[in-house]
Chains A and B, each alone.
Chain A
Amino acid sequence: MGGARCMASKGVNEVKSFPDSLAGLKSQGHTLIGCFPLYPPLELLHSFGLTPVVLWGLLQDITHLALSDRHLQPYACGVARSLSEFVLSRGSEFFDAMFMYNACDTLRNLPEILESSLGRNGTPIPLFRLHIPAVPLSRAFASVYLKERIRALIGELEKFTGKAFSKQAFLRSTALYNRQRRLSLDLEHLAAAGRIRFADCSGILLSAGRMPVDDHITILERTIREFNGRAPGHQGIRIMLSGILPPPAALLDAIERAGLMVAANDIAALRRSYGYLPSASADPGAYYEDLYRNRYPCTTILPSADRRLETVMQTLRESDVQGFIFVGEKFCEHEYFEIPAIKRMLEAAGVRTLELEIGMDNALNLDAYRTRIEAFAEMLRQGARGSRRNKDAV
């Protein structure tokens, strides 16, 4: 695989740009399906011989939004704007089909905008849609509805690919994706132990969205082998990161330089994506009921709201972190509605918090971010010294 060779030869944090990755895959004959974030049913798409890629983490590769700005106001989030720009500028070059589900209000508004624009340009791309119930799947009717929708999607995929659904192929795909999830968690643990920098770890994990799952597994396995035996090389005050996407590499670098160490995360593109391993099943309806019902809580998975605070707290405790940095995706209201509750909970537990916000112009503000991160790190250090003094006094 092109991506794998590139990373092996140039280091773990070198991942090809999104367009380069996709160009490589196209040249190898992959049938690419571009999926809207956040949690599309990748296994099902894969079982039909399609190569799903997830359209987030594009900000580093897209600096101009000339086409997107013709369709979306600037108060749409960076994920939606960069996705639109990419699909409108290069979608027809790469994608044989697209997929979206009801992840959030902004994303649900996009399909017709993109479809009509691509249609006008004479480059339409077939688009599949799915509605995932936003009520608990423990309710029988919601489970029935999800299964009906999955069956309908299977029918559409059969028509599109000319292939019949195969239980064996689906089982193989689910096994691959679960392997990927397990390895992703293993890699995270290496970062939490200080054996690999979180910036490197995050780059590799995020690259899952732009390459075939088996290639990603290869990279994960090789990286884990490489770093597993290493002595912890990076230590610092343990913190947890939260947000939709991992912060840009420069910001992660600033976090580490400030003496902080990312020991845990609650990031949608990372832990929230692979934090739960569903049970194997040849029945896609049962498989996705399990996955969407039990997955790691996310602000966009509405029925998981009650579990979210508890899960964040549990992750914090397990990782022994002292600080929590929320890296907000500008204009992502799902995230911002939950911050005050999370902050209150963390402060009550004695965990310090810092809020940062990443917008389309984040590169311009890195110095301001650095200052705030350094101040936060200093506050954590003072807190740690204070609690040591208290212990000594006792």
Chain B
Amino acid sequence: MPSEEIQGEFRKNTSGKRLSTMIMNDYLELHRRASEGAFVVWIAIIVPAELLGGFENVVYAVPESHAALCAGKGAGPVLCEKAEGLGYSTDLCSYARIDIGTAFDGGRDSPTFGLPRPDLLISNNNNCSLLVKWFDVYHRAWGVPHLVLDIPFCYQNQNDRDFRYIMDQFGTLISAIEEMSGQRFDMDRARESVRLSSEAFKEWKRFLSFAAHRPSGITAFDSFVQMAPILTSRGTRRLVDHYRLLADETGEQIKEGIFPVPDERYRLLWDNIAPWHQLRKMSGRLADLGANITSASYTYCIGALEGEYDPYEFDGNDPLAWLARLQNFSVCPHGLNLRGKAMKEVIGRNEIDGVVFASNRSCKVYSLMQMDQMRYIREELGIPCVMIDVDHADVRKYSEEAAFTRLEALLEMIEA
């Protein structure tokens, strides 16, 4: 965890160490099962992995998550350049460029040796419709089937018509996987997978809830790093165990008076995808200023319905219905009002002093509402805000000094 480096007394705990092992094992397991003949599916983040859990021998990989890992490990630029060398514009999402650069160079320079070649691609268009275009690149190059989940954007809460539409698509998806993989879908397996995800999300929210403590028990950077297994172990017992341990340990540290930023003077909220290449640097430099980004829209949305904060719990009945209802559990598919509603809730709960809007060239869907969102937070809620320029995975498009000039100005505004 990045915070280990910035505060001598805040040590990497068991859940921090377990995370590294877990991610490494998840990728090794993915490669192993793929090499032994498992049906491999590449999915976009919001595609319901729990549905794939309804099959005995289907494994999944999330290219966005793999790209984030590459960026965090410093491999972003070299992998982006490979894609750019193939003709992909530098204006395209850096996740996509990293992933394309990896995929077309046999996994070289990737900390996970890339991802096993897919048998099926499943993208969706609510988080971002460019995922569809990105997955189409592989569909064309390798002739791998590509299925799209079309999830209508939420200007208001999901309505019945959209819910039914999503359920219908799940039915088609299941039939297609059955046909392609030769395996039968087992609803009970899927139900168990959903039950475990729901439980894991509750533990996740319990972990995030420690951001309400003064000083905060966590940083948003912890949550960025710790969200990784949601994308590699969704619907598993090990995910529940991990988040329970994470929340328990964080609670214990608070009781012992161990905090990531002990002399916390400014409590901030981050809006956008994590700046993967800056986690350590940014958290450390902020801590030196007495500032802690305690919360992030990128991670507090996980497991919640649009515009909400608390997790959407599984009632034990139809797992597909739970998945369909939760098909918007990230910020990007939410309209301005829903984003504002959730952010207002978190600002209140966690006693936020200022909001950092990270304007992210690589994620237009997240970013192209921020100027209005910022106006709302500043004018309606009276919370100081600042906008900094980032790119979530391409460090070449980020200027640390320019960002900190603005971050320091935000702290001055809070102080004033």
Instruction: List the interface of chain A (C-beta within 8 A of B).
Output: 70-73, 75-76, 80, 102, 104-106, 108-113, 116-117, 129, 131, 133-135, 139, 141-142, 145, 148-149, 299, 302-303, 305, 309, 328, 330-331, 333-334, 336-341, 343
Contacts and interface: CB of A to CB of B under 8 A. Distances in A.
B13 interface: no
Contacts of B365: 105-106, 108-109
A340 B86 contact: yes
A134 B129 contact: yes
Contact of B92 (A108, A116, A330, A337): A337
B129 A105 contact: yes
Given A72-B368, A112-B155, A134 B125 contact: yes
Contacts of B337: 112
B402 to A, nearest CB: 15
- Most chain-A Cβ atoms within 10 A of its Cβ — which of B86, B91, B171, B335? B91
B390 to A, nearest CB: 12
Contacts of A305: 132-133, 136, 139
A303 B93 contact: no
12 contacts: A72-B371, A75-B361, A75-B367, A112-B337, A112-B369, A141-B169, A142-B150, A302-B129, A333-B364, A334-B130, A339-B89, A341-B141
A132 to B, nearest CB: 9
B136 A337 contact: yes
B148 A135 contact: yes
B172 A333 contact: no
Nearest to B137: A337
Nearest to A120: B375
B300 to A, nearest CB: 20
A71 B372 contact: yes
A337 B152 contact: no
A303 B148 contact: yes
B398 interface: no
Given A105-B128, A109-B369, A139 B364 contact: no
Given A337-B136, A340-B86, A112 B165 contact: no
Nearest to B339: A112
- Most chain-B Cβ atoms within 10 A of its Cβ — which of A106, A133, A134, A142? A134
A40 to B, nearest CB: 16
Given A302-B148, A339-B87, A340-B86, A113 B372 contact: yes
A116 B172 contact: no
Contacts of A104: 129
Nearest to A341: B140
Interface in B227-261: none
A353 B132 CA distance: 25
Interface residues of B, number: 46
A112 B335 contact: yes
B359 interface: yes
B414 to A, nearest CB: 24
Contacts of B86: 340
Interface string B332-356: 0001110000000000000000000
Contact of B371 (A73, A302, A336): A73
A339 B165 CA distance: 32
A149 to B, nearest CB: 8
B88 interface: yes
A337 B161 contact: no
A113 B337 CA distance: 10
B134 interface: yes
B204 to A, nearest CB: 27
A201 B220 CA distance: 55
Q: Secondary structure at chain A's binding surface: helix, strand, loop or mixed?
A: helix
Contacts of A343: 87
Contacts of B188: none
A141 B166 CA distance: 10
Contacts of A340: 86-88, 137
A341 B137 CA distance: 8
- Most chain-B Cβ atoms within 10 A of its Cβ — which of A110, A142, A336? A336
Given A105-B129, A302-B129, 14 more contacts: A71-B372, A75-B364, A76-B364, A105-B128, A105-B368, A113-B372, A133-B150, A135-B150, A141-B165, A333-B92, A333-B93, A334-B129, A334-B133, A336-B91
Contacts of A111: 155, 335
Nearest to A69: B371
A377 to B, nearest CB: 22
A302 B169 contact: no
Contacts of A116: 336, 372
Nearest to A300: B129
Contact of B125 (A148, A302, A328): A302
A73 B368 contact: yes
A117 B373 CA distance: 12
Contacts of A331: 91, 364
Contact of A135 (B133, B169, B367): B169
Nearest to A105: B365
Contacts of B185: none
Contacts of A72: 368, 371
Contacts of B364: 75-76, 105-106, 109, 331, 333
The 5 closest A-B pairs by CB, nearest first: A141-B168, A340-B87, A337-B133, A112-B336, A134-B150
B153 interface: yes
A135 B169 CA distance: 9
A113 B130 contact: no
Contact of A109 (B133, B139, B368): B368
Contacts of B92: 333, 336-337
Nearest to A334: B133
B88 A73 contact: no
A148 B136 CA distance: 28
Contact of A70 (B153, B162, B169, B371): B371
Contact of B368 (A106, A330, A333): A106
B172 A139 contact: yes
Interface string B142-171: 000000111011010000011001001101
A71 B165 CA distance: 32
A337 B96 CA distance: 10
Interface string B319-341: 00000000000000001110000
B109 to A, nearest CB: 20
Nearest to A117: B372
Contacts of A330: 91
A116 B368 CA distance: 14
A330 B364 CA distance: 13
Nearest to A152: B161
Contact of A131 (B89, B149, B152, B336): B152
A34 B364 CA distance: 24
Interface string B270-291: 0000000000000000000000
Contact of A134 (B87, B132, B140, B335): B132
B384 to A, nearest CB: 18
Contacts of B372: 71, 112-113, 116-117
A106 B128 CA distance: 10
Nearest to B359: A73
A318 to B, nearest CB: 23
Given A105-B128, A302-B148, A129 B155 contact: yes
A330 B92 CA distance: 10
B336 A141 contact: no
A362 to B, nearest CB: 15
B129 to A, nearest CB: 5
